[in-house]
Amino acid sequence: MGAGKILTIIGGISGLLSTILFHVFPNIFCLWRLDVWGFANHKVWIGGFGFRSGEESGNFIDPVYTERILFLLIGLLIAAGGAIAIIGGIMENKIVGLLGGIAMLAGISGFIISCLIEFGDFKELADQIALFGGEGLLFGKSSITFPSVTGEWGLGMSAYMAIGASGAGLVGGFLIES
């Protein structure tokens, strides 16, 4: 069993888990998050397949489908890319392994680009962040003194998992000898 096969399978499993685990632990495995605390406590988590969840004053908000087709496609690309990478690794097929890595990379790239250009739900979230002096959606922390509110936002654990899964799928697919 070669390194390419193992790396491609690991990348595929990570890609699948990066989208699916949001529905089990949304506060940990989200693609993007916003935490606001102080005068008001508010949390928003965006996960794969276009689902959004959060917490309002300590009360959990169940995941809700946002009906944004782009976010659905992003989740599908990452999950399908993960499944394709697993198949490519098991079959030891270079083309299939690379295709899985490319699909995962397209999915997470689409997510990051939509975050950068403030597309869809990100426009509303950018407006919320601007209320307490923040700007830029990829990473940030800002606060205002009256009322005392601090916010922190950025990519979540699943975004990093998907980036790593894409890299592992691409490198593993490239290393498979066929």
Q: Give the tens place of pLDDT for each residue, 114-132.
A: 888 988 778 888 887 887 6
Report the number of distinct structural domains present in the chain. 1
pLDDT tens-place string over residues 48-58: 888 888 888 77
Which of 131, 176, 121 is CA-nearest to residue 39?
131
pTM of the model: 0.89
Choose between 109 and 68: higher pLDDT: 109
Domain residue limits at 26: 3-175
Q: Look at residue 158 and tell me whether its pLDDT is greater than 90.
A: yes
Tokens of 146: 């009256």
Distances, alpha carbon 152 to alpha carbons 43, 75, 77, 112, 175, in Å: 10, 24, 28, 17, 39
In the predicted model, what is the mean pLDDT of residues 27-35? 91
Q: Look at residue 67 and tell me whether its pLDDT is greater than 80.
A: no
Mean pLDDT of the chain: 89
In the predicted model, what is the mean pLDDT of residues 128-142? 79
Q: Look at residue 146 and tell me whether its pLDDT is greater than 70.
A: no
Specify the CATH number for the domain of residue 133.
1.20.140
Which of 82, 119, 108, 112 is CA-nearest to residue 97?
82
Residues of the chain with pLDDT > 90, as a percent, come to: 51
Distances, alpha carbon 90 to alpha carbons 29, 76, 96, 121, 135, in Å: 26, 21, 10, 38, 44
Give counts: helices (H), strands (E), the chain: 5, 6
Q: How far is CA 135 from the centre of its chain?
A: 20
CA gap 51, 37 in Å, rounded: 23
Question: What is the pLDDT, as a whole number, of residue 148?
Answer: 78
In the predicted model, what is the mean pLDDT of residues 93-110? 96
Question: What is the pLDDT, as a whole number, of residue 109?
Answer: 96
Question: What is the pLDDT, as a whole number, of residue 140?
Answer: 84
CA gap 58, 2 in Å, rounded: 48
DSSP category for residue 31:
S
Report CA dihedral (15, 20, 24, 28) to the nearest 10 degrees: 40
In the predicted model, what is the mean pLDDT of residues 82-99? 96
32-36, 110-114, 128-132, 154-158, range with the lowest pLDDT: 128-132
Distances, alpha carbon 1 to alpha carbons 81, 87, 165, in Å: 22, 15, 20
